[in-house]
A and B are shown apart, each in its own frame.
Chain A
């Protein structure tokens, strides 16, 4: 039987509009509702992680003043903060949230290819979050092994949460991976197979490319985490020795022998490093679209940007052991992984150049999403440069496990993606709700967040050079650390409190604008991509009304000379002196 592509199918019979409140908003199979459920859950659990970081900062800044947490709960806070932020907030928000919302809209599809599976994905994700949060309430509390969960100390008695917390963490990760796989298969299949007529891969907005590549990375990287979680669960529950060597704890010989802790580190980082790019690539994609739209210019070097995303995705699987220079692995590995790590900087730098060149001579509109997007370029360059330091073995050895590392990864995969999250939320909020967000509040939010994060993380680099170790509850009287380090620590804490408080502005803005925001209309930013061309705003179930859009051009026809508007939507037909021939993609549009 001949197979009929989606864009050519008759869709009359497919639209079963949900009617009851339950099918519309709770057990919804609509990708837009699922996206908001995913995003809302991720942000809520992210607030828990933010609260934990505030507690840690209070302890570090004023060690003798507050008695909020003891050393054990400090480790638990470190662990849960890291795990929640990386996996349950950023991964879920970018792929489950933005991926779900934007992929069908940007691809001109009516929904994900398997909506039921998509709904299951969210409910499994929610389950994994609940399991994770339940570990706060069990005997011994959540695990305090650090978010990397390195054995043997994850399992040995003495580590906080070794009773139940670690088991709940491993189960929660397993459930999360199941949820991610169900969603991820949907995202990839939708992008590859359900695009609208005329929408070739090389006409896709970079957001879709970023999310697609990140999802593929996730589908290949999460298996390593799943396997290590299963093996660790067996070490924990069945007394196997996959990761546990012969070891003494509290003067007693434990019943383990012959396992390899390094094996866990390899498996973990085979997941863990692609995970960095699972978070970063969607951010790269989204920020490209925000920059191009608000600079009223085509993205510079579209094809290069696509290949850079793909190249980074591929290379991210061969750099994992740069997290393990001090682990005791074969030193020759270090040479190999330092080389690959520095090579991955090339496509990454290329992307940064292209963002800057997109801004070059653009008709820049400094509204809130644009400010966040430009802020991202700053923090990303900053975090990327310190990454070059840490990628070299000889420089990494002294800096390993100091605050320099903390500063680096917070800059590059904490602050930078979060700035993109905000850019994207301010940018797509009008499409999700039909209301504009308040610009004044938004700009205030941006400056507080942007300057505040610099006040937090710049001094941390210096603390790292002093040799202040990370994950310490208190420095005590350490000879090589000067008194002034403590003053700096107190300042960092104040800045952190300030930034955390400033996020209230964002939430006020979201809820205030929902009711009082100016009506946005369908395309408030004058954007070209398909999601802004829907017949209704917010888009209704099925997205496109009766007919699917037909795409006639790439996603970046801004400021085309001779065209009355400064943008040409992708579904507008006609040759206006611009060629869709990709040999000319890189030429900047001439404009006044």
Chain B
């Protein structure tokens, strides 16, 4: 590019040196909008928060002297008097959240095609999935509270079980709730045509956040419910 020649920057080299060249390139390091770069950095930072939560959880699980309650028994539901099915609610919640990632990805695609209506509808569908996830979480919380689980103790064993459960799922639930609100706001602006000039990267940025929240849930599911 002529401006690069003017400021004395050579063309990028292949291989590993090329990586360094890209990073130290003219003006901007990543060829993405500011908001997207910022969202990525925020998500890395947020990853550290959830990592600390999960590592803290694993440590107290090892340090506590009492036995850890069995998640497959605690999180079991019976329908119409059937045998309790382990983790059925959690499985449904996980399925819903992962499905919502799919609708979000479709919304991003429609956004870039400037199909405002479909993009907004799919974002609202995503938000609805998210809201139903939070709703089921509320159900799960109230069921456990009714069974006597408290942050400071529970009927089955280590008191840290309840502490970790409410803290980690609560913090994740807050993220989902924030995501639902964020999705609704952006969907409204999309419909209104606020982004006709600026471009529809914002849908993808919202999507990044949403996929991140889903991904975190996968780790919570694996480490808290399946372990």
Question: A223–B45 contact, CB under 8 A?
Answer: yes
Is B8 an interface position by the 8 A CB rule? yes
Count residues of chain A with CB under 8 A from any CB of chain B: 54
* A192-B29, A238-B152 known; A258-B44 Cβ under 8 A: no
- B residues 51-65 near A (Cβ < 8 Å) are 51-53, 56, 59-60, 63-65
Question: B45–A219 contact, CB under 8 A?
Answer: yes
For B163, list chain A residues within 8 Å (CB). Answer: 234, 238, 240-242
Interface centre among A226, A258, A551 (most CB of B within 10 A): A258
For A206, list chain B residues within 8 Å (CB). Answer: none
A154-194 near B? 1/0 per residue, CB < 8 Å = 00000000000000000000000000010011101100111
A95-109 near B? 1/0 per residue, CB < 8 Å = 000000000000000
For B201, list chain A residues within 8 Å (CB). Answer: 3
Is A257 an interface position by the 8 A CB rule? yes
Question: B28–A193 contact, CB under 8 A?
Answer: yes
- B residues 1-20 near A (Cβ < 8 Å) are 3, 6-9
In angstroms, Cα B38 to Cα A241, docked, is 36
* A231-B167, A240-B160, A260-B60 known; A3-B65 Cβ under 8 A: no
In angstroms, Cα B8 to Cα A241, docked, is 60
In angstroms, Cα B51 to Cα A220, docked, is 11
For B199, list chain A residues within 8 Å (CB). Answer: 1, 3
Is A309 an interface position by the 8 A CB rule? no
Is A259 an interface position by the 8 A CB rule? yes
B36-50 near A? 1/0 per residue, CB < 8 Å = 011001101110110
Q: Flag the segment in A67-75, A196-204, A352-360, A375-383 that touches B.
A: A196-204
Nearest residue, chain B, Cβ from A203? B24
Is A40 an interface position by the 8 A CB rule? no
- A residues 214-240 near B (Cβ < 8 Å) are 219-224, 226-228, 230-231, 234, 238-240
Question: A259–B27 contact, CB under 8 A?
Answer: no
Question: B49–A188 contact, CB under 8 A?
Answer: no
Q: How far is the CB of A109 from chain B (nearest CB, A)?
A: 10
Interface centre among A193, A224, A270 (most CB of B within 10 A): A193
* A197-B7, A220-B48 known; A185-B42 Cβ under 8 A: yes
A548-572 near B? 1/0 per residue, CB < 8 Å = 0011100000000000000000000
Q: How far is the CB of A409 from chain B (nearest CB, A)?
A: 24
Question: A189–B38 contact, CB under 8 A?
Answer: yes
Is A78 an interface position by the 8 A CB rule? no
Interface centre among B29, B51, B199 (most CB of A within 10 A): B29
Q: Pick 10 A–B contacts, CB within 8 A, sort by A.
A: A181-B45, A193-B29, A195-B27, A197-B3, A197-B26, A200-B25, A234-B167, A240-B151, A242-B60, A258-B60
**Top 4 A-B pairs, shortest CB-CB distance:** A198-B7, A258-B64, A240-B163, A239-B152
A186-B38, A220-B48 are known; give 10 further A-B pairs, CB within 8 A: A114-B38, A192-B37, A193-B34, A201-B23, A202-B24, A238-B152, A240-B160, A241-B152, A258-B66, A258-B160
Residues of B within 8 A of A (CB): 3, 6-9, 23-34, 37-38, 41-42, 44-46, 48-49, 51-53, 56, 59-60, 63-66, 151-152, 158-160, 162-163, 167, 171, 199-201
